[in-house]
């Protein structure tokens, strides 16, 4: 599939998404700077999240509306989303600024009104967040736009993923393997799941990563991820709801570079000698005279050996030469050739 003309698939370098989420810390100027940083870090796109606390939950003090454990333990859902939301009145300015910076921008909608807002801004693609993968009506509503969709599978079982895949029918989409823990431990990643999803559902797969560092995205790239999504912040020390598991701009840039190198290294099945290594063939082993030999003298393990460099006979001929006699005098250090060996 394509987003803003950029091809996404196994034959292309991974598509890198810098997730802004709540890392703007309620400052639109900081949001602008994150867009700039994403572009400078060689991200293909910067992504927002489009919701309000009232479109994602309700203002309620009930125990089930309070987060238990993890990074946001003790926070009410309503308060967390009020803190983390990207104000809807910012969206137009952020889309315009991304266009100025020549970087793609799109968002995760969390209800139909968000999709409508993003359609009015001509969003080129949509992301379905992990917690929304079970919102089949939302996925169907997004699918009606016929625009590319990226679906994150965190928390979902195989049946739920299959239902989302069916709901997305009619538009191109990618499934992202995801562990929805913040931050997510590497030992829980099970990146082999990406290949299984690709085979089972017949779609490209990638990674939405909440681990710390860049080793997981690099590994995912080596395993065939076509999309890499990672949170970005200007500086973790500045704080913010997502800062703990976000990359700073230089780290994001390092990740992109390393993933591109990993992708390049995968290549194709090829047993040929590469141009870059061709000169090394001269320094492989071959048969050499290791003691001066007189004409008629017998070749033995004491006067010929398989050594480096590689200008003599191939070592596989060693047993054929042993026991034969020399046709001429041969100095020590001479590469052995057939015109020196008597045909017995």
pLDDT tens for the 344 residues of the chain, in order: 999 999 999 999 999 999 999 999 999 999 999 999 999 999 999 999 999 999 999 999 999 999 998 888 999 999 999 999 999 999 999 999 999 999 999 999 999 999 999 999 999 999 999 999 999 999 999 999 999 999 999 999 999 999 999 999 999 999 999 999 999 999 999 999 999 999 999 999 999 999 999 999 999 999 999 999 999 999 999 999 999 999 999 999 999 999 999 999 999 999 999 999 999 999 999 999 999 999 999 999 999 999 999 999 999 999 999 999 999 999 999 999 999 999 86
Cα distances from 286 to residues 256, 307, 321, 324, 341, in angstroms, run: 43, 6, 12, 17, 15
Structural domain ending residue among the three candidates 266, 290, 307 = 266
Bond prior to 162 in cis (omega within 30° of 0): no
| Residues 232, 323 within the same domain | no
Total structural domains within the chain? 2
Residue 318 sits in which domain range? 275-340
User: What DSSP line would sit under 182-212, residue for residue?
Assistant: SSPPGGG--THHHHHHHHHH-S-EEEEE-SS
Q: How far apart are CA 218 and CA 258, in angstroms?
A: 7
H/E segment holding residue 19: strand 15-19
Q: How far apart are CA 309 and CA 311, in angstroms?
A: 6
| Residues 248, 309 within the same domain | no
| Residues 244, 95 within the same domain | yes
| Residues 250, 280 within the same domain | no
pTM confidence score: 0.91
């Amino acid at each position: 599939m394509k987003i803003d003309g950029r091809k996404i698939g196994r034959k292309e370098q991974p598509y890198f998404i810098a997730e802004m989420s709540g890392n703007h810390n309620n400052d639109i100027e900081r949001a602008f700077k994150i867009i700039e940083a994403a572009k400078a870090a060689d991200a293909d796109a910067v992504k927002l999240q489009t919701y309000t606390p009232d479109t994602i939950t309700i203002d309620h003090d009930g125990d089930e509306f309070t987060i238990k454990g993890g990074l946001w333990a003790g926070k009410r859902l309503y308060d967390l989303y009020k803190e983390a939301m990207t104000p809807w009145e910012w969206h137009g300015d952020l889309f315009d600024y991304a266009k100025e910076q020549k970087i793609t921008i799109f968002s995760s909608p969390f209800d139909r009104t968000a999709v409508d807002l993003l359609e009015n801004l001509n969003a080129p693609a949509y992301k379905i967040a992990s917690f929304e993968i079970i919102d089949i009506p939302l996925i169907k509503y997004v699918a009606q736009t016929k625009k590319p969709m990226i679906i994150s599978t965190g928390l979902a079982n195989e049946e739920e993923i299959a239902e989302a895949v069916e709901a997305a029918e009619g538009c191109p989409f990618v499934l992202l393997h995801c562990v929805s823990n913040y931050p997510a431990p590497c030992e829980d990643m099970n990146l082999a799941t990406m290949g299984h999803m690709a085979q089972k559902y017949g779609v490209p797969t990638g990674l939405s990563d909440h681990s710390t560092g860049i080793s997981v995205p690099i590994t995912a790239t080596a395993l065939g991820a076509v999309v890499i999504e990672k949170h970005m912040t200007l500086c973790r020390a500045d704080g913010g709801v997502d800062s703990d598991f976000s990359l700073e701009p230089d780290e994001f840039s390092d990740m992109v570079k390393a993933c591109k190198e990993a992708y390049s290294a995968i290549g194709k099945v090829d047993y040929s000698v590469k141009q870059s290594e061709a000169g090394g063939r001269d320094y492989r082993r071959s048969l050499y005279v290791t003691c001066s030999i007189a004409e008629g003298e017998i070749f033995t393990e004491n006067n010929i050996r398989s050594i480096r460099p590689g200008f003599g006979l191939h070592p596989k001929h060693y047993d054929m030469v042993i026991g034969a006699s020399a046709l001429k005098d041969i100095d020590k250090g001479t590469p052995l050739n057939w015109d020196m060996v008597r045909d017995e």
